[in-house]
Amino acid sequence: MTPETVLITGGAGFIGSHTADRLLAAGYRVRVLDSLIPQVHGDGRRRPAYLSTEVELQIGDVRDASTIDCALEDVSYIYHLAADTGVGQSMYAVGQYFSTNVVGTAQLWEGIQKRPGQIKRFILASSRAVYGEGRYSCSRCGDVVPGQRSEEQLLRADWSHHCPVCSGALEPRPSDEATPTGPVSVYGLTKKFQEDICRLMGSTLGVPVAILRYFNVYGPRQSVTNPYTGVIPMFCTRIRSGRPIQLYEQGVPLRDFVHVKDIVETNVAAISLNGQLEVVNVGSGRALSLREVADTVCSALGVSPNVQLTAKFRVGDILACYANLDRSSQLVGTEERIAFGEGLKTLLPWLASQEVDDRSDQVESELRFKGVLKEGATTSFGSDL
């Protein structure tokens, strides 16, 4: 029996390549379509050494109709991972992000439309960025889904959310899939458009769609050349160069870091999801402050904490968002997700094997020039050594 073919757009990246490994092991034939952009893969557009030799690699742009037609030949399942990522960069590269993420997704569906009945399932890699700030609760007023924090508030170095009714402090709560979407970055908005396109076209063409909302993914094969994504590689690079980790908003923001192995478990399970449409969070279900992340990275590297707390902030960043995993548990079970400290043990050897330049100053200068990076009332809160 001839194995079915799976197409992974953006599949030469670290999430896609790990997913390809699992699909190959499960007996599928895997084709990857990837443009191998220098920002992610470095110069030269070379096939990544970690990409299995069993994977058929097509180098091309998801926005090109003829490229899509070739990539979709004999394909039964699609994982759509191709996207520009990076909240900060998206706030000034607006046209680029909409072109790659939104137009690219639309072009892919035009290709699918030419092949009625061929595609058995379409799986979209979406993002927690569609939620914006996610769920919170007020001790007096109950559940609240706040909007974006104002620039005026952030310039006062007030990082908290306040209840719109009583002005009391809000506490973050895990966001489930029913949480109203409210992107506060261009990147998040493009992911929401992707979701909407896939819902509409999947329903129109009778193609079952699964939408997986990834939280902050980390793990081996993570790009070390992309300075706009991957806070952990950036932390490690600064520590190894003898420089302090700079934490925006005093290191207060909370994030949900999920290991790539847990992402892959959900990706593979999603190929057999029942129902026309499923939206599933893919996270760890744990909220870590950026200060906790920095301290854990320092500990894993065997160095004393070298952290500088600052009042800098980026337009489009959120305070907190972490995953409710009730629906995810129905898909992949209730087994504990990989703990952050354990996951770092798989990432650090990968980072140590890569040649990395510290480009954080260059990125910060660019974001400041574009009006994305700003500074609160107090310029620095010092270093904790």
Q: Which CATH number fits domain 5-384: 3.90.25.10, 3.30.420.40, 3.90.550.10, 3.40.50.720?
A: 3.40.50.720
Has residue 27 got a pLDDT over 50?
yes
pLDDT score for 2: 87
State mean pLDDT over 37-47: 86
pLDDT score for 202: 96
Has residue 357 got a pLDDT over 50?
yes
Has residue 380 got a pLDDT over 70?
no
pLDDT score for 382: 45
State mean pLDDT over 67-77: 98
- The DSSP annotation for 237-262 comes to HHHHTT-PEEEGGGG--EE-EEEHHH
- Computed over every residue of the chain, the mean pLDDT equals 93
The tokens for 103 are: 């137009």
Integer angstrom CA distances of residue 305 from 273, 302, 360? 44, 9, 19
Q: Indicate the DSSP class of residue 337.
A: P
Has residue 371 got a pLDDT over 70?
yes
State mean pLDDT over 359-375: 91
Has residue 383 got a pLDDT over 60?
no
Q: Per-residue pLDDT tens for 75-130? A: 999 999 999 998 999 999 999 999 999 999 999 999 999 999 999 999 999 999 99
Rounded to the nearest 5°, which phi and psi values hold at 219?
A: 150, 175
pLDDT score for 95: 97
- The DSSP annotation for 19-51 comes to HHHHHHHTT-EEEEEE---HHHH-TT-PPPTTS
What is the Cα–Cα distance from 87 to 80, expressed in whole angstroms?
19
Q: Indicate the DSSP class of residue 272.
A: G
Helix (H, G, I), strand (E, B) or coil at 182: coil
pLDDT score for 354: 85
pLDDT score for 276: 53
Those residues with Cβ within 8 angstroms of residue 190's Cβ, 6 or more apart along the chain or in another chain: 83, 84, 90, 97, 98, 101, 102
Burial readout 189-216 (b: 16 or more C-beta within 10 A, e: otherwise):
bbbbbbbebbbebbeebebbbbbbbbbb
Q: Per-residue pLDDT tens for 146-172? A: 889 999 999 999 999 999 899 999 999
pLDDT score for 277: 62
Has residue 229 got a pLDDT over 80?
no
pLDDT score for 240: 86
Q: Indicate the DSSP class of residue 355.
A: -
Q: Which residue has the higher pLDDT, 201 or 361?
A: 201
pTM of the model: 0.95
- Residue 187 annotated as catalytic: yes
User: Active site residue: 79, 97, 131, 187, which one?
Assistant: 187
pLDDT score for 45: 85
Q: Per-residue pLDDT tens for 262-319? A: 999 999 999 987 665 689 999 999 999 999 999 999 999 999 988 999 999 999 999 9
What is the Cα–Cα distance from 97 to 225, expressed in whole angstroms?
18
pLDDT score for 35: 95
Do residues 382 and 308 touch, judged by C-beta distance below 8 A?
yes
